[in-house]
Amino acid sequence: MATAQTIAASGADAGSASPRAVPPEIAAEKALVPSGHLPAEGDAIALRGPVARLPVELDVAVPVRNFRVRNLLALEPAQVIESAWGHGEDVPLSSGAVQLAWSEFEVIETQLAVRVTRLA
């Protein structure tokens, strides 16, 4: 849905100018901070500087039926828990409400790891 921004008419001071509607294309050209080229879908965004080092909390959630706190407290080493997720299916990897990738679980020595299989 296109929107129009209201700007003062050029050549007059802002106090006396009557506002008029401007199409978004023209308003973007007159913006104080113009937006750069937006990458097309599938194009990678190269992050540089401090932004590339910002920490991001990632979540991998697997639905487990009837699992309560008492079940968590009773867990023992090498115990297996049945989940509602299909065996061999990739698990969504997200940050907050944004899904970033699909992943799979992998055991490396005694650690459980998540391997990214494809980007969302």
- CATH code: domain of residue 58: 2.30.330.10
Rounded to two decimals, what is the model's pTM? 0.48
Per-residue confidence band for 113, with pLDDT thresholds at 50, 70 and 90: confident
Same domain, 69 and 20: no
Domain extent, residue 28, equals 1-36
Q: Mind giving me the DSSP string for 53-90?
A: G-----EE----TT--HHHHHT--TT-----SSPTT--
Please tell me what DSSP assigns to residue 120: -
For residue 80 the two structure tokens come to 């297996």
Query: 81 and 100: one domain?
Result: yes
| Whether 100 and 55 share a structural domain | yes
Question: In the chain, how many domains are there?
Answer: 2
pLDDT in tens, 46-93: 777 787 778 888 888 888 888 899 998 999 988 888 888 887 888 899
CA–CA–CA angle 63, 67, 69 (5° rounding): 125
Do 96 and 113 sit in the same domain of this protein? yes
